[in-house]
Chain A
Amino acid sequence: MNREIAIKVQNLVKNFGKDENLVKVIENASFEIKKGELVALIAPSGAGKTTLLMMIGCVQEPTSGEIWLGEEKVYDNKWTAKDTRKIRREKIGFIFQAHYLIPFLNIIENVTLLPQTNGVSEKAAKQKAMELLEYLEIADKAYSMSSQLSGGQNQRVAIARALANNPEIILADEPTAALDAQRSISVIKMLKKIAIEQNVAIITVTHDERILPYFDRIMKIENRGIVFHELGEDKIL
């Protein structure tokens, strides 16, 4: 199956500081990730995982290089759009270490907040949110507050929130860090299902080796560059 490219990065460079204080974090990184792929991003602490994630997420500006999100070139040695926040709002979903739901909004409001900001009507946003909550088997908690849900339930809501704006890409920063082994595997399986069924590319930063077999590919930062480790289907399930 010839899947569309969701993320394309070419010759990406990220340095911090200058002159004698120059720290090179990423050097000439180039890679592609297709829609429907679940990719793990691994590296030792301080190697630049979060920096790479933030550059792809249009949060942190690279030093040089090119980034495509879908067919749109968002970075060409500078941001191509003035409002990178709009790109994030429309193309990217984020999942964090903890669920980080807005505590003063109930579950369905957390999920509908972004679509409503994008101009989707309240009714349509709620309908879509209910579909997602049902898909993630948490629809019965739609009008609860996040404080009334367990960690695993909240993380599912966070996934629903990340999907609410129909993103092409989901960037997940250690989404299983706060979960036990069983729940971690459950979340990764869910992400795998989402990647395929919702046709989105998912990059997940992780340190958890137990969940690695569930990824399509493993992207590793080595010597400031990107190296891929492909995993066979038999290893995943």
Chain B
Amino acid sequence: MINLAKRDIEHTLGKFIVTAMGVGMLLGIVLIMIGVYRGMMVDAEILLDDISADLWIVQEDTLGPFAESSRVYEDMKNIIYVIEGIDKSEAMTFQNIQLPSHDKPVRVVAVGYDIYGSINPINPKRLIAGRELKNDHYEIVVTDKTGFKLDEKIKLGRNLYTVVGITHSTVSNGGDPLVYISLKDAQDLQFSYSNKEIQNNEARGVKNSEAFMVNTIVARVKSGYDVDEVAQDIRKWQHKSVYTKEQQKEILTKNLIEKSAKQIGLFTAILVVVSTIIIALIIYTMTLEKMKEISIMKLMGLPNSLIISMIVKETLLLGVFAFIFGNIFSHLIYDRFPKRIVLEIPDAWTLFGVVIIASILASFVGVKKVISADPAAAIGG
């Protein structure tokens, strides 16, 4: 039996391909949107995974440095260290800063850590040039996305910092590039006041004791100890909020990214609906263009099923080709976006399923038109 859909597409191949490319671009954007969400999930976990702490000890009744402001004394790390079950503990700071750059300022998250400490937030695998921090002051490790080069000087606060190392793929949970500085420099940046302000505060009787604050204490638990039990001990005796790595991930992904995920999900859903409507309109137009032929086929006695099958096959082929073009399009442009886009094969297959369902739904408008076509319209010009 003649494959009417194949013949019709071959007859208007150029038009069909251009149409599929147009719809494909929309589907490509759907894939990019899903990729943005996946990228956010990956970004959210990079720092947590690199630090690889079992426990995050933060200011009581706060959710920790990524969700809320948290301040604890730096020496808390020593108190934590002596708690039974604790293997390592270190103090860390996290702060948003703006680096002056050649073109425009770069928004980054600075991680402050004790360069002599036992927990290093820099994953050696991500270090692509230079070295880690070796000196207590005025050294900085930046991620490649900031655009800084090795040995470049960056003015931060009142001091000039030298770029000693460059990392790749290190971003905060918000997608901002990460930079690493020593804990002392970070405390200076975050908690130290200018000399004039210190003088004013002392005159007012206010002590400037914040220079020894940090945002969190991170700790690793010895093997054989239950992380939750150790966390419970700290909560009980130290009046601090304590989160395990999993809880911290949940705070980041569920609480912080949830809204963004919903927003992206809504955009994606709207795009899918728009794509379906566009496919339906294209099929409707394609069917309208063939109404005379459809009337003739009906008049000649061709069964509806044969004509409907042509319309449905054409719609499905349009969906499949659009999906292929969408994939090509998304893979061509995904690395041009400023934030991480993660394109995953399972997402593509899910979209393929959605496209097939959408195509079948879209074909209904063409099918309805076929059913209503009057065979008598073929007679009488």
A interface residues with partner B (beta carbon < 8 Å): 50, 53-54, 57, 59-60, 85-90, 92, 94, 96-98, 100, 102-105, 109, 112-114, 116-117, 122, 145, 173-174, 177
**Is B14 positioned at the interface, with any CB of A under 8 Å from its CB?**
no
Residues of the A chain whose Cβ atoms lie less than 8 Å from the Cβ of B7: 104-105, 109
CB of B379 within 8 A of CB of A104, answer no
Say what secondary structure dominates the interface of chain B: helix
> Shortest CB–CB separation between residue A204 and chain B, in angstroms?
13
Residue of B nearest to A54 (CB): B376
Given A100-B292, A105-B2, A105-B7: A88 in contact with B300 (beta carbons within 8 A): yes
List the 4 closest A-B pairs by CB distance, nearest first: A89-B301, A104-B11, A88-B301, A104-B8
Complex: A118 Cα to B302 Cα, angstroms: 9
CB of B299 within 8 A of CB of A60, answer no
> Shortest CB–CB separation between residue B305 and chain A, in angstroms?
10
Complex: A94 Cα to B298 Cα, angstroms: 11
Question: Which residues of chain B from 356 to 381 have a CB within 8 Å of any chain A CB?
Answer: 375-376, 378-381
Residue of A nearest to B6 (CB): A104
Given A113-B2, A116-B2, A117-B302: A53 in contact with B297 (beta carbons within 8 A): no
> Shortest CB–CB separation between residue A188 and chain B, in angstroms?
19
CB of A50 within 8 A of CB of B380, answer yes
Complex: A116 Cα to B3 Cα, angstroms: 11
CB of A112 within 8 A of CB of B2, answer yes
Residues of the A chain whose Cβ atoms lie less than 8 Å from the Cβ of B12: 104
Residues of the B chain whose Cβ atoms lie less than 8 Å from the Cβ of A57: 299
- Excluding A96-B378, A105-B7, A117-B301, 6 further A-B contacts by CB distance (< 8 Å) are A50-B380, A59-B379, A88-B299, A88-B300, A96-B379, A103-B11
CB of B306 within 8 A of CB of A117, answer yes
CB of A102 within 8 A of CB of B379, answer no
Interface centre among B8, B11, B292, B379 (most CB of A within 10 A): B379
Residue of A nearest to B292 (CB): A100
Complex: A54 Cα to B375 Cα, angstroms: 10
Residues of the B chain whose Cβ atoms lie less than 8 Å from the Cβ of A90: 301
Q: List 12 A-B contacts (CB under 8 A).
A: A50-B379, A88-B299, A88-B300, A100-B296, A102-B296, A113-B2, A116-B2, A117-B1, A117-B301, A117-B303, A122-B1, A174-B381
CB of A54 within 8 A of CB of B379, answer yes
> Shortest CB–CB separation between residue A122 and chain B, in angstroms?
7
Question: Which residues of chain B from 1 to 19 have a CB within 8 Å of any chain A CB?
Answer: 1-2, 4, 7-8, 10-12
> Shortest CB–CB separation between residue B105 and chain A, in angstroms?
59
Residues of the B chain whose Cβ atoms lie less than 8 Å from the Cβ of A97: 380-381
CB of A89 within 8 A of CB of B379, answer no
Complex: A142 Cα to B375 Cα, angstroms: 27
**Is B293 positioned at the interface, with any CB of A under 8 Å from its CB?**
yes
> Shortest CB–CB separation between residue B353 and chain A, in angstroms?
30
Encoded as 1 (CB less than 8 Å from any A CB) or 0, chain B from 285 to 321 comes to 0000000110011111111001000000000000000
CB of B1 within 8 A of CB of A89, answer no
CB of A59 within 8 A of CB of B299, answer yes
Complex: A114 Cα to B381 Cα, angstroms: 22
